[in-house]
């Protein structure tokens, strides 16, 4: 190899290395960096919704490691727990002749009936033991009124009873909400829609959620969320 060709090859290699570095910098710059006014909402990552639970979401146990990986990027983390009294109105067993996954009318409207799940104080209602977010500052429990279900972390299913989370986040100066957990098409979607309605910039971290997908509910939930301005992102979009 003569000297000129060798120099050209060196020069080309240096350009590639520079371009690669610039690409990395650019990719990093495009990532979302949660600041002091962002919160990660970890929705219902509980034993009842993972393998072995009373209302297991398919692959629900896969979300804890993903959420654990991104949680340190957040200065604020709030967890929720579905937290029902025995005999709750959302349980099929509370309505003689009804079966899980049927729909009935309650005082506030249509309600899907579920198997008994997340009963207060049981191991089934405890947080997934693989969830490792010691810095989480608040746990919001929802669905504790016997006659009202609550998918959303903000407002219960009668659409008027507040959980108090909106007031907490506003008082803490939070502007951006990032939602992850279970299940995408129910508690995560309702939470994200209510976050938008309350004026928060809202993101759902898709791969940090798993869905139930009952009668097309997952596609419907994404369509509704997108219409309302919820941003659909992946855990790799967050700067760690
Ligand atoms: Zn429930």
- Residue boundaries of the structural domains of the chain: 1-30, 32-237
- How many Å lie between the centroid of ligand 1 and the Cα of residue 129? 19
Distance of CA 137 to the CA centre of its chain: 16
Q: Which two tokens stand for residue 53?
A: 């639970």
44 is catalytic: yes
Distance of CA 98 to the CA centre of its chain: 30
Q: Rounded to the nearest 5 degrees, what angle is found at the Cα of 73, between the Cα atoms of 68 and 74?
A: 95
In Å, what is the CA distance from 115 to each residue of 51, 118, 166, 183, 204?
15, 10, 29, 15, 26
Q: What percent of the chain has pLDDT over 70?
A: 88
As a whole number, mean pLDDT of residues 199-222 equals: 96
What pTM was estimated for this model as a whole? 0.88
Among residues 48, 82, 128, 142, the one annotated as catalytic is: 142
Q: What's the pLDDT score for residue 30?
A: 86
Burial 33-67 (b: 16+ CB within 10 A, else e): ebeeebbbbbbbbbbbbbeebbbbbeebbbbbebb
pLDDT over 80 at 7, yes or no: no
Among residues 149, 187, 194, 209, the one annotated as catalytic is: 187
- How many Å lie between the centroid of ligand 1 and the Cα of residue 182? 11
142 is catalytic: yes
Q: What's the pLDDT score for residue 3?
A: 60
Q: What's the pLDDT score for residue 12?
A: 55
- How many Å lie between the centroid of ligand 1 and the Cα of residue 155? 14
* The domain defined by 32-237 carries CATH number 3.20.20.140: no
For the segment 126-146, what is each residue's pLDDT rounded down to a tens digit?
Answer: 999 999 999 999 999 999 999
Among residues 44, 149, 185, 194, the one annotated as catalytic is: 44
As a whole number, mean pLDDT of residues 36-61 equals: 98
- How many Å lie between the centroid of ligand 1 and the Cα of residue 62? 20
Q: What's the pLDDT score for residue 78?
A: 98
pLDDT over 70 at 189, yes or no: yes
In Å, what is the CA distance from 154 to each residue of 1, 9, 75, 171, 188?
70, 60, 20, 14, 11
As a whole number, mean pLDDT of residues 112-120 equals: 97
Q: What's the pLDDT score for residue 5?
A: 57
- How many Å lie between the centroid of ligand 1 and the Cα of residue 188? 12
Q: What's the pLDDT score for residue 6?
A: 55
Q: Who surrounds ion ligand 1 at CB < 5 A? A: 82, 143
Banded model confidence at residue 14, pLDDT cuts 50, 70, 90? low
- How many Å lie between the centroid of ligand 1 and the Cα of residue 231? 25
- The lowest-confidence range among 17-26, 31-40, 148-157, 220-229 is 17-26
Q: What's the pLDDT score for residue 19?
A: 58
The residue written with tokens 């079966």 in the block is 99
């Amino acid at each position: 190899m003569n000297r000129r060709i060798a120099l050209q090859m060196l020069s080309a290699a240096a350009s590639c290395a520079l371009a690669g570095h610039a690409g990395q910098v650019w990719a990093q710059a495009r990532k979302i960096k949660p600041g002091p006014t962002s919160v990660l909402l970890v929705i219902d990552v509980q034993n009842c919704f993972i393998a072995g639970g009373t209302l297991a979401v398919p692959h629900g146990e896969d979300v804890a490691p993903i959420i654990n990986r991104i949680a340190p990027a957040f200065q604020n983390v709030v967890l929720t727990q579905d937290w029902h009294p025995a005999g709750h109105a959302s349980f099929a067993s509370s309505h003689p002749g009804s079966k899980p996954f049927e729909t009935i009318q309650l005082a506030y409207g249509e309600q899907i009936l579920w198997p008994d799940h997340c009963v207060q104080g049981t191991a089934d209602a405890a947080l997934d033991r693989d969830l490792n977010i010691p810095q989480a500052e608040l746990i919001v429990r929802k669905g504790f009124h016997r006659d009202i279900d609550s998918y959303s972390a903000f407002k219960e299913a009668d659409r008027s009873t507040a959980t108090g989370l909106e007031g907490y986040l506003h008082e803490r100066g939070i502007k951006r909400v990032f939602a992850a957990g279970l299940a995408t098409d129910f508690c995560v979607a309702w939470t994200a829609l209510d976050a938008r309605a309350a004026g928060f910039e809202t993101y759902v971290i898709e791969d940090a959620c798993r869905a139930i997908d009952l009668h097309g509910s997952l596609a419907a939930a994404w369509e509704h969320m997108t219409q309302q301005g919820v941003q659909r992102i992946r855990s790799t979009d967050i700067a760690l």
